[in-house]
Amino acid sequence: MIMRTWRGWTRTEDTEAYAAYILDTGIAQYKATPGNLGAWLVSRPAGDRSEFVTVSLWESRESIVGFAGDDIERAVFYPEDDNYLVDRETSVKHFSVH
């Protein structure tokens, strides 16, 4: 099993709107991809911003390709992300789950 994580930051006032947007886009797409074993969005206050982390579990690297494409190290973004994100990781991290 593989855990995939990504981080991004919004203005504090955009926390709830961005959470709703990512739940409807990214998290929904994660969960709809064959081989996905679960996906979560977590957030926390970070000074004058909010930090978001997406966490997803996958059966294999091949199942991640079904979501992210051939370059699974590159983050996947959605059309309205630029309206919310003030900073973001452009790559993701993958961890083996033992």
Residue 74 sits in a domain whose CATH number is: 3.30.70.100
pLDDT tens-digit profile of 28-62?
Answer: 999 999 999 999 999 999 999 999 999 999 999 99
Structure tokens at 15: 């926390």
User: What span, in angstroms and rounded, lies between the C-alpha atoms of 22 and 20?
Assistant: 6
Range of the domain at 79: 2-96
pLDDT tens-digit profile of 70-96?
Answer: 999 999 999 999 999 999 999 999 999
DSSP state of 75: P
What are residue 27's phi and psi, to 5 degrees?
-65, -40
The domain total for the chain is 1
